[in-house]
């Protein structure tokens, strides 16, 4: 029967022709090796199908497998958020203490400067008043000496 198919154009025939065996039937050793390899003869996935758990149990198992990492992630995220909040709160309290200490230091320095300024003003005023009083007393003594002499 001629159906228009050239047997030498088929992939297997071309492969056999390149390997040096141009016959239409594969060599016996290839068939023999394939028939005696157990991984080719067994029905694929049949043992796994026998040991497969019921759908409800596998659904629960898959759900737990997905929720486990999600809960771990939420736990880690909660820990990180708590740590950041603690650090920020501690930083706020430390900054507040530093600002209060700086304000107290500035207040102490300003009160010391104010005390020194008050002392300096009182000293200058005292010296000026004393100098004026000395000059007035000198003028009075000179006038009293002239009048008495």
Q: What is the mean pLDDT of the chain?
A: 79
Look at the pTM and tell me if it is higher than 0.85.
no
CA end-to-end distance (rounded Å), the chain: 174
Measured CA to CA, the distance from residue 100 to residue 114 in angstroms comes to 21
Measured CA to CA, the distance from residue 9 to residue 16 in angstroms comes to 11
pLDDT, greater one: 19 or 72: 72
Residue-level length of the chain: 149
Structure tokens at 74: 């939420």
Return the pLDDT at 96: 95
Return the pLDDT at 36: 55
Return the pLDDT at 62: 86
Beta-strand runs (E) in the chain: none
Q: What is the pLDDT of residues 24-70, one digit of tens each?
A: 555 555 555 555 555 555 555 555 556 666 777 888 888 888 888 89
Measured between alpha carbons, how far is residue 140 from residues 37, 103, 128 in Å? 142, 54, 18
42 with 36: CB under 8 angstroms?
A: no
Measured CA to CA, the distance from residue 133 to residue 126 in angstroms comes to 10
């Amino acid at each position: 029967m001629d159906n228009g198919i050239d047997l030498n154009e088929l992939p297997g025939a071309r492969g056999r022709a390149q390997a040096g065996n141009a016959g239409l039937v594969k060599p016996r050793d290839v068939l023999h090796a394939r028939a005696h390899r157990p991984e080719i003869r067994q029905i694929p996935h049949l043992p796994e199908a026998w040991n497969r758990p019921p759908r409800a149990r596998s659904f629960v198992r898959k759900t737990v497998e997905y929720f486990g990492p999600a809960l771990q992630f939420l736990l880690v995220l909660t820990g990180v958020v708590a740590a950041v909040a603690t650090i920020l709160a501690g930083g706020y309290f430390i900054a507040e203490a530093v600002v209060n200490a700086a304000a107290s230091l500035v207040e102490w320095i300003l009160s010391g400067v104010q005390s020194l300024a008050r002392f300096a003003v009182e000293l200058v005023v005292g010296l000026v008043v004393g100098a004026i009083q000395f000059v007035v007393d000198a003028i009075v003594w000179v006038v009293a000496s002239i009048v008495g002499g």
